[in-house]
């Protein structure tokens, strides 16, 4: 479960990263709920939390909503900062995170204009097209037969799971129609470039 990029966009990524890196402290006084941050008197000691949940600190995330995150009392400033950010943050947005993933996950952001020139243009030259009304790219691949089409899709599926980035696609016999966009940033990101380049490379190997 990872911090979504919407959080990073609103600066929550920083707040959470700061707080997340402190989540190994011993006592807590703030709780994040799906409705936002609230004060709590709960205290955990690291030994108990480690024993009880296995990880260093429990993060109660169900599906895509944080039901509670406990902040260290000694960092009320950080929690206040996070509170401040969360209070400005549309609470209806889904957010899921873990301490490890929150600190490690590389936040993807929408492609900049420069990146679009440098990284997107070569794909457009290779036959990808911009999707009308969306910040997304599309290409139809025609393979030799269904077997080739499906082996291409298998490779993409493995990559998708590895980088946690999934295509929108349709397959009919030897055709694979692919649309790429990053839902978390509502547009194109480096993840889409990476997946498109992977597709281009795989198709070259198959043909
Ligand atoms: C919760 C999960 O990590 C996110 O929804 C991932 C999954 N796969 C994804 N795939 C795509 N194309 N865009 C995303 O923003 C995305 N986000």
Domain limits, the chain = 113-206
**Residues near ligand 1 with C-beta < 6 Å?**
2, 164-166, 182-184
Cα dist. 64→35, 43, 92, 132, 157 in Å? 13, 25, 11, 30, 22
Residue 6 has pLDDT above 80, yes or no: no
User: Could you tell me if 113 and 11 are in contact, meaning their C-beta atoms sit under 8 angstroms apart?
Assistant: no
Distance 156 CA to ligand 1 centre (A): 14
Please determine, for the modelled complex, whether the ipTM score is greater than 0.95. Answer: yes
**Percentage of residues in the chain with pLDDT exceeding 90?**
47
**Percentage of residues in the chain with pLDDT exceeding 70?**
49
* Local confidence band at 153 (pLDDT 50, 70, 90 cut-offs): very high
Residue 30 sits at φ, ψ, to 5 deg, of -115, 145
Mean pLDDT of 61-86: 38
Residue 168 sits at φ, ψ, to 5 deg, of -105, 120
* Local confidence band at 106 (pLDDT 50, 70, 90 cut-offs): low
Residue 177 has pLDDT above 90, yes or no: yes
How many other β-carbons are positioned within 10 Å of the β-carbon of residue 191? 21
How many other β-carbons are positioned within 10 Å of the β-carbon of residue 108? 20
Residue 32 has pLDDT above 50, yes or no: no
Residue 132 has pLDDT above 80, yes or no: yes
* Local confidence band at 87 (pLDDT 50, 70, 90 cut-offs): very low
Residue 157 has pLDDT above 90, yes or no: yes
Q: For ligand 1, atom 13, which residue shows the shortest CA distance?
A: 182
Residue 30 has pLDDT above 60, yes or no: no
To test the ligand 1 pocket, which listed residue (159, 161, 165) has its Cβ within 8 A of the most ligand atoms?
165
Residues in the chain: 207
All residues at 6 or more sequence positions from 90 whose CB lies less than 8 Å from its CB, including other chains:
none
Mean pLDDT of 69-88: 41
Residue 178 has pLDDT above 90, yes or no: yes
Greater model confidence, 195 or 34: 195
Distance, in Å, from the CA atom of 67 to the CA atom of 61, rounded to the nearest integer, reads: 6
Atom of ligand 1 nearest to the CA of 108: 15
Atom of ligand 1 nearest to the CA of 168: 12
Atom of ligand 1 nearest to the CA of 181: 12
**pTM of the entire predicted model:** 0.56
Is 3.30.1360.20 the CATH classification of the domain at 113-206? Answer: yes
All residues at 6 or more sequence positions from 80 whose CB lies less than 8 Å from its CB, including other chains:
none
Residue 146 has pLDDT above 50, yes or no: yes
Distance 74 CA to ligand 1 centre (A): 34
* Local confidence band at 37 (pLDDT 50, 70, 90 cut-offs): very low
């Amino acid at each position: 479960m990872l911090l979504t990029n919407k959080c990073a966009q609103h600066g929550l990524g920083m707040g959470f990263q700061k707080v997340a890196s402190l989540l190994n402290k011993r006592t807590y006084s703030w709780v994040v709920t799906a409705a936002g941050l609230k004060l709590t008197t709960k205290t955990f000691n690291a030994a108990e939390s480690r024993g009880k949940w296995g990880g260093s600190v429990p993060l109660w995330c169900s599906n895509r909503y944080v039901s509670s995150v406990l902040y260290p009392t000694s960092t009320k400033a950080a929690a206040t900062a996070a509170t401040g950010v969360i209070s400005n943050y549309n609470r209806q947005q889904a957010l899921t995170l873990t301490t490890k993933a929150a600190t490690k996950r590389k936040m993807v952001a929408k492609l900049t204009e420069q990146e679009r020139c440098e990284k997107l243009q070569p794909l457009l030259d290779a036959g990808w097209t911009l999707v009308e009304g969306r910040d997304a790219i599309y290409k139809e691949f025609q393979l030799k037969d269904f077997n080739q089409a499906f082996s291409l899709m298998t490779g993409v599926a493995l990559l998708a799971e590895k980088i946690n980035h999934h295509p929108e696609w349709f397959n009919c016999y030897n055709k694979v129609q692919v649309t790429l966009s990053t839902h978390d940033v509502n547009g194109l990101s480096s993840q889409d470039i990476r997946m498109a380049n992977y597709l281009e490379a795989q198709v070259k190997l198959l043909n």
